[in-house]
């Protein structure tokens, strides 16, 4: 996004497959205008790929949850404190969340334990405050954090990369994780790392440069 230019007819472009949104501002000026501009850039629900870079709003646009055909999502270097519930994308195969330093929880809806039924590649990077996942109940303080007995299932995940998320707890099970596991730079708390690497299965590649806390 450059100079506040918006295109409100994106939602009519049914053949649009990929959308990249970014801000060219690094200060705190006109954040409300930026949130409104991103909200007005709602694409058609046929969209397959979404890239968001350097977004300064605290919440992503509400239309993100309506893109149920997404296959790839990149969220990079943004200030968001909240993401839309991310368990609503049945076709999602790749999720990359990096540089969201104010994000504490990834929220989900409902009580199901199956999470991202098609997800194959997951990257979490440099989200310093990220703790884990919790069930979404609007803005209620009653949202519950996922605990060990309620670990979510990523049934198709084959690659998991985690770097620079020192407060992240193990909140998921990866029954199909057999290609690549990479944990670097104090990613996951030590007791959760031990639980993860002891999971049954053979990894095609395993890398750990872990600084025990």
Please write the tens of the pLDDT for every residue from 158-203.
888 888 888 887 656 666 666 667 666 556 554 455 445 444 444 4
Query: Tokens 């620079």 map to which residue?
Result: 164
Residue 153 CB coordination number (10 Å)? 17
The answer to whether residue 3 sits within a structural domain is: no
The answer to whether residue 45 sits within a structural domain is: yes
Q: Residue 111: beta bridge partners?
A: none
Cβ-Cβ contacts under 8 Å for 77 (sequence gap 6 or more): 53, 54, 98, 99, 100
Residue 38 pLDDT: 92
User: Which of 144, 127, 126 has the alpha carbon at shortest distance from 135?
Assistant: 144
Range of the structural domain that residue 166 is part of:
8-209
Which token pair is 108?
Answer: 């989900």
User: Number of folded domains in the chain?
Assistant: 1
The answer to whether residue 1 sits within a structural domain is: no
Q: How many angstroms separate the CA atoms of 119 and 116, rounded?
A: 5
The answer to whether residue 2 sits within a structural domain is: no
What pairing do the DSSP bridges indicate for beta strands 159-163 and 121-125? parallel
User: Which of 102, 67, 58, 107 has the alpha carbon at shortest distance from 85?
Assistant: 107
**Contact, 53 vs 77, CB < 8 A?**
yes
pLDDT in tens, 93-135: 999 999 999 999 988 776 655 678 899 999 999 999 998 887 7
- Residues 57, 60, 63: CA angle, nearest 5 degrees: 140
């Amino acid at each position: 996004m450059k100079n506040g230019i918006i295109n409100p007819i994106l939602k009519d472009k049914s053949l649009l497959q990929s959308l990249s949104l970014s801000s060219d501002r690094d200060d705190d000026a006109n954040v409300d205008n930026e949130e409104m501009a991103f909200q007005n850039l709602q694409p058609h629900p046929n969209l397959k790929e979404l890239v968001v870079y350097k977004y300064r709003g605290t919440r992503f646009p509400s239309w993100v949850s309506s893109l149920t055909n997404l296959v790839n999502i990149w969220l990079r270097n943004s200030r968001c404190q909240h993401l839309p519930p991310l368990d609503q994308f049945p076709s999602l195969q790749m999720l990359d969340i990096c540089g969201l330093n104010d994000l504490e929880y990834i929220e989900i809806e409902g009580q199901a334990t199956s999470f991202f039924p098609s997800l194959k590649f997951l990257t979490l990077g440099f989200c310093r405050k990220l703790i884990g996942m919790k069930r979404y109940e609007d803005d209620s303080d009653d949202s519950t954090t996922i605990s060990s007995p309620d670990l979510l299932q990523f049934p198709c995940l084959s690659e998991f990369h985690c770097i620079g998320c020192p407060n992240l707890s193990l909140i998921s099970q990866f029954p199909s994780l057999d290609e690549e596991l990479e944990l670097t730079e104090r990613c996951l708390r030590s007791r959760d790392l031990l639980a993860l690497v002891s999971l049954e299965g053979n990894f095609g590649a395993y890398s750990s440069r872990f600084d025990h806390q």
